[in-house]
Amino acid sequence: MRPGEVIALGFRYPAPGRLEILKAAIERDLNGVAQRRMRRFVAAIGNRSLVEWEELHTRTLDLSPLFAPYVGHLIWGENYRRGEFMADLKRQMERHGVDLGGELPDHIEPVLRYLAVAPDPLSDLVQVIGDAVGAMRTALRNAEPDNPYRHLIGATVAVIGSETHVSLGGPT
């Protein structure tokens, strides 16, 4: 698995066996800061039951989320520019065989999987991904600084730079 695909697993809805798959992928396919942050994420969610992890995931990412996991929404809000971006991104994802898994094209999970496989990613995405992930990190830090998903965002920051050559700077 490529690093972006490993991080994307953390953004998927929890399921039986997902934690074990995530642990194995972290050890096999990550290193450096991304691996350390993902180990922290797994340690923090590993102390919870599957139901508790599902509740945390839903509270953090789905229903009135603590941070919006949508790249286009964070950059353009709900206007036509986001729509154009999502249409372009969807075409590129289809071209590279990235299944949306029921998410919108600008959701961070399929975006990470796309960045992992696209040798020349959509330039609009490369231009905005750093700002979008930075906004996710800031929103989560402000809303709930002890939320375990802060480690997942930190790992995302580490991987984004390596897969897009975008530097987010600042502490992760």
| CATH class of the domain comprising 3-164 | mainly alpha
What pLDDT, on the 0 to 100 scale, is given for residue 122?
Answer: 95
How would residue 28 be classed by pLDDT, with cut points 50, 70 and 90?
very high
Asked whether residue 129 carries a pLDDT value surpassing 60, the answer given is: yes
Task: State which H helix or E strand residue 154 sits in.
Answer: helix 149-164
What are the helix (H) ranges across 2-122? 3-11, 18-29, 32-46, 50-57, 71-76, 80-95, 108-117
How would residue 89 be classed by pLDDT, with cut points 50, 70 and 90?
very high
DSSP code, position 107: B
Of 94 and 63, more confident: 94
For residue 107, which phi and psi values (nearest 5 degrees)? Answer: -65, 140
pLDDT digits (tens, 9 = 90+) for 31-67: 999 999 999 999 999 999 999 999 999 999 987 788 9
Helix, strand, or coil (residue 70): strand
The whole-number average pLDDT for the span 83-108 is 97
**pTM, to two decimals:** 0.90
What pLDDT, on the 0 to 100 scale, is given for residue 7?
Answer: 97
CA dist 161 and 115 (Å) reads 11
Number of C-beta neighbours around residue 78 at 10 A = 10
Exposure string of 2-21, with b = 16+ CB inside 10 Å and e = fewer, is bbbbbbbbbbeebeeebbee
Question: Structure tokens of 72?
Answer: 């286009």
Number of C-beta neighbours around residue 58 at 10 A = 14
pLDDT digits (tens, 9 = 90+) for 141-162: 999 999 999 999 999 999 987 5
Asked whether residue 140 carries a pLDDT value surpassing 90, the answer given is: yes
What pLDDT, on the 0 to 100 scale, is given for residue 162?
Answer: 57
The whole-number average pLDDT for the span 165-170 is 41
Domain layout of the chain by residue ranges: 3-164
What pLDDT, on the 0 to 100 scale, is given for residue 30?
Answer: 95
Burial tier of 70 (Cβ tally within 10 Å: 0-12, 13-18, 19+): buried
Asked whether residue 136 carries a pLDDT value surpassing 90, the answer given is: yes
CA dist 96 and 119 (Å) reads 10
Question: Structure tokens of 39?
Answer: 């180990």
The answer to whether residues 128 and 71 touch, using CB atoms and an 8 Å cutoff, is yes
